[in-house]
A and B are shown apart, each in its own frame.
Chain A
């Protein structure tokens, strides 16, 4: 804006300069205009006319002179008038037009002067002519008249003749001024003069001769005069003047033209200049307008701001809430009238001081500290505060303090707004009272009870005491109500309430829930106190009550639960107490009953879980996944174990461990089991339809097995799904079959009749595996995965497996190893003649859609294939063990070294302590010494020990870098050993020729 205005002002000043230029141009233009205009056509026309008229006037003069001479004109009026005109014109011709340039003017003046001279001469000549001509004319007239008269008279003859001749000659001469005639005239005149003239004619003749002489003399003179007039050369002079004038005119015109052109140019310049000035003016105006607009805008904004300010001021002044504005230091800058109204302090008393003067002293340091902390961190604080008014009155405020921050984040002011909430507080209290207490009896209501309960529970937790939660229901209240009316009932309730209040002690609570239901909370040190309290309570209730109408009596049924013995949530506690009360009512009333926790919990949980699972089953949220079982040796998929999964809508895919325990010993369990079997059968059918023949085993609990109608159901299922025969297998959890062995056995027998085989799952983990093996006619034993894992490096498990395998073969049961997690494990199992396996090394449980595809593509691991045709006699088993042991301890060592664990003692260092060495130098040597592979073992084996020793020392000496390097070598040496052993294994194996 400033720029625009400044520019406009600057332009405004420049305007004066422009005005000056404009003025100068106008002056020049005007001058040019006059110079241009000076070639006035009027003047030119006038002067040209004058010149023209000069010509004609001159001609007129000549003509008139001539006319006068020849008596064509016998008066001089015309000639005189023409002369006068000519004179006038001559004078007029001297007045040159103004536009004639000076050079030309001087020339023309010269010419005019010359003309004037000629004209002056002309005047003279003309006057002379007039005179002479008049005399001539006069004499001619007289001569003619007189001569005629005389001739008419009788003249003597001697005179007559010469007289006649004389007269005739004069007349002839008059007509033609010829010298001849002059001669004759002279002669005749002489004659006359010499003659004797009679006296009477003497005078007349004398005068006549005089006139004749005059004629003689004047005629040539007059002619000459006329000729002179005509040859004066005025006409050429006039023409010359005219020529000069024309030149002068042309010059003037040219000059005027130049002026005209100059004027035109100047006019254009003027227009251009004016345009420029106008443009500048316009831009100036625009700038001004722009500045004006800006100013306007700012002004409007200002006005708006002022209006807003006024508005804010109004708000500030008229607010019912008190407002204080302080500076950053907290000193009051401004207050509003409400502040004074509430606190009593006038403006002058507080401005510049800290509002802390109105502190009531009710709040501790922490309160104010927390308040300021909130203000400084969050920028505001709001809450109730008690302050002291000027007159010492302490009153509650609802206060909110805000920190005003500038753009840099620094606090510049604090604004506090507060309202006097005295009345509010009173009302609050009243309301609270109302909110928390029963209107009729004044006892705490349900809400307050809840609060009291919480408090009591936390107190109990703190002080290690007990809390009795008692649910009281009055017996016989309804009849009173019915008989005596509601008012009586109310009175009764009030009386009871009073009695309850009397009974309870300070920390206890008696509350009315509604109707004739009450809850009491007793704080107890010991459980025994409760009973006492209960008796007291029951006593108090059953005392007669005096109503207006009559005396009545009621009793109470009380249910009690003790917290924290009953460790439920508060509402649960009440519920328990209620349940107990219910029982009390049912068992005769006017008594109290304690709540039983345990069974309640179980029932509930179970109840909850079961319903969920029931729902899930209904919603088909369960699905079977199939973990393949394979024959490792033959490389074939023999079947799958069906494992239930729960596709939980919220929790995702749940394994059975996450939900099955919840329905343990519940009917739901059996339902699920039923579903599993049916689903498996359906799947078998489906696979068979696709041309795949698999066996499927499902897990069943002994509960299910022993559930009534299980066999029949199974039979019915098999009827519906005949494919299940010889394909369906039931896996019975070993431990679950504990209960009723004979019945389970019987069921298994029954199943066998349907061609449904059974297997013992997790074999080896139960207490009486051998008993099961003996008593249950299962066809398969599933070797528990706890024995299978770590098989490659844990010789202990190996021993067990050996045992189990031995047992199984003895009892002619099949064995399948569960939880085969590594290829090496599988290999070892194969070496020990355990061909069947399932586990993650083979596959995790697969969804149906993936199973058939997997089965089609599965190949046993190459290391299994290599030994599939091989057989080792039992004498070689030690070799296997030794290998495993070596592997084991080296791995152990490596693991320990890498993980900062203390190194395993014993085995490693000395060969003497190594079991592998025992075997190697013992049985191994005796059996296999002939084998090169056996001999190849020795060196790396020794090396292993050496390195191990070194590692041990280095470890002790904290030379960790060396340890790492040596570990590498250790591993490589071990690998060599293992390789050699492997070779040996191959060497000693027997081909099966299957």
Chain B
């Protein structure tokens, strides 16, 4: 047993030593550079391609590196009908993966069979669109998720409802805990779904293979169609990796498709966002990838077939009545834009 004297001595000695040490350590620690946010590179890696980056049409880059956990969770949520008010409609209801990412209807149908007002664009390669929705009101896929959920004619629900329903599912609770180390929140739900959607890239279309130098990927007609596509100026708007999806354009540059009828809400297009008169009937230029499997076409689904769409485009955008041969060849070309997902060509 140490004596009182020895104890006090020990105490003061240890204090003398340790306190400064602590102080120093604290200071040093504080002065240390904290591991700040890592800077993310802004560049998009197009992957290996022999095509010059300035050519109008570019092949799809490989799918981005995404968290498989989140993708899986997102996929689950994508197919979860609890996102809709009456648990009848899931994202996949209108953007079914095995039907080209669309519902093949002129306009979608929401909960309780409520008819929608606009044609469902494909979810495949939606990650390459510079904005989402025909009128570009969502800047990102994450922002887009809230749209259908809250749309009364689509899912007719709201975040609270959705979160509540999902939180009741212990599996989701556990998954969110694992994946996000967090509770089920709208942000996390949107993030999961968006992450899943970004994974829906459809490479290996015949055209992409052609662009990447594969000989014989395109037949003669398709190639002829490609040239026509470019020379007629279609590629002025339908360009980039998405073959569209990176700009807005008026539907009816030369001629007005809405002539003789009153434009509906959906026909206002960009105007609903910008409130500029110039932006009436201005829509996001849709991506033509997998266009062969995403009938009907245009925002109102007014073109039931690809040929009709091509003819309509020629009429309204070019003021040219395309010859049948042109239409056929262009159509063949467009059909070569269908890619693969999960190893299978989209249908």
Size of the chain A interface, CB-CB below 8 angstroms: 56
**Measured between C-beta atoms, what is the minimum distance from B210 to chain A in Å?**
17
A210:B319 contact, CB within 8 angstroms: yes
Contact A49 to B5, CB < 8 A, known contacts A40-B34, A41-B33, A207-B320: no
Partner of B12, one of A140, A142, A282, A293: A282
Contact A131 to B33, CB < 8 A, known contacts A76-B240, A78-B53: no
Secondary structure dominating the interface of A = helix
A134:B30 contact, CB within 8 angstroms: no
B320:A278 contact, CB within 8 angstroms: no
B233:A142 contact, CB within 8 angstroms: yes
A84:B130 contact, CB within 8 angstroms: yes
Q: Chain B: interface residue count, which band? A: 35 or more
Most interface-central of A33, A88, A130, A138 (chain B CB within 10 A): A138
**Measured between C-beta atoms, what is the minimum distance from A152 to chain B in Å?**
14
B4:A288 contact, CB within 8 angstroms: yes
B15:A278 contact, CB within 8 angstroms: yes
**Measured between C-beta atoms, what is the minimum distance from B327 to chain A in Å?**
15
Closest residue of chain B to A136 (Cβ to Cβ) is B236
Is A178 an interface residue when CB atoms closer than 8 A count as contact?
A: no
**Measured between C-beta atoms, what is the minimum distance from A13 to chain B in Å?**
16
Most interface-central of A42, A80, A204 (chain B CB within 10 A): A80
Partner of A138, one of B240, B242, B248, B318: B318
Partner of A81, one of B44, B247, B320: B44
**Measured between C-beta atoms, what is the minimum distance from A141 to chain B in Å?**
4
Partner of A293, one of B5, B130, B239, B248: B5
Contact A75 to B55, CB < 8 A, known contacts A135-B236, A140-B233, A141-B232: yes
A141:B36 contact, CB within 8 angstroms: no
Is A717 an interface residue when CB atoms closer than 8 A count as contact?
A: no
B247:A292 contact, CB within 8 angstroms: no
Closest residue of chain A to B6 (Cβ to Cβ) is A289
**Bound-state Cα–Cα, A658 to B253, Å:** 181
Is A127 an interface residue when CB atoms closer than 8 A count as contact?
A: yes
Q: List CB contacts (< 8 Å) of B1-29 with chain A.
A: 3-5, 8-9, 12, 15-16, 19, 23, 27
Contact A207 to B319, CB < 8 A, known contacts A76-B240, A281-B12: yes
Contacts of A37 in B (CB 8 A): 30-31
Partner of B233, one of A130, A139, A206, A282: A139
**Bound-state Cα–Cα, A133 to B8, Å:** 86
A46:B239 contact, CB within 8 angstroms: no
Contact A137 to B320, CB < 8 A, known contacts A74-B56, A278-B12: no
A75:B249 contact, CB within 8 angstroms: no
Contacts of A137 in B (CB 8 A): 233, 236
Contacts of B232 in A (CB 8 A): 141-142, 145
A130:B248 contact, CB within 8 angstroms: yes
**Bound-state Cα–Cα, A137 to B318, Å:** 12
**Bound-state Cα–Cα, A736 to B232, Å:** 200
B253:A33 contact, CB within 8 angstroms: no
**Measured between C-beta atoms, what is the minimum distance from A929 to chain B in Å?**
123
A80:B130 contact, CB within 8 angstroms: yes
Contacts of B236 in A (CB 8 A): 133-135, 137-138, 141
Contacts of B56 in A (CB 8 A): 74-75
Contacts of B240 in A (CB 8 A): 75-77, 80
**Bound-state Cα–Cα, A75 to B241, Å:** 9
Closest residue of chain A to B247 (Cβ to Cβ) is A130
**Measured between C-beta atoms, what is the minimum distance from A493 to chain B in Å?**
84
Is B230 an interface residue when CB atoms closer than 8 A count as contact?
A: yes
Q: List CB contacts (< 8 Å) of A253-282 with chain B.
A: 267, 270, 274, 278, 281-282
Is A285 an interface residue when CB atoms closer than 8 A count as contact?
A: yes
Contacts of A78 in B (CB 8 A): 53
Contacts of B55 in A (CB 8 A): 74-75
Q: List 16 A-B contacts (CB under 8 A).
A: A40-B36, A43-B36, A73-B53, A130-B248, A134-B237, A138-B233, A138-B318, A141-B232, A142-B233, A142-B320, A145-B231, A145-B232, A146-B320, A207-B318, A278-B15, A282-B12
Query: Which 7 pairs across A and B sit closest by C-beta, in order of nearness?
Result: A138-B233, A42-B36, A141-B233, A75-B239, A77-B240, A138-B236, A137-B236
Q: What residues of chain B have their CB less than 8 Å away from a CB belonging to chain A? A: 3-5, 8-9, 12, 15-16, 19, 23, 27, 30-31, 33-34, 36-37, 39, 42, 44, 53-58, 130, 230-237, 239-242, 246-250, 253-254, 278, 282, 317-321
Q: What residues of chain A have their CB less than 8 Å away from a CB belonging to chain B? A: 33, 37, 40-43, 46, 49, 53, 67, 72-78, 80-81, 84-85, 88, 127-128, 130-131, 133-135, 137-142, 144-146, 203-204, 206-207, 210-211, 214, 267, 270, 274, 278, 281-282, 285, 288-289, 292-293
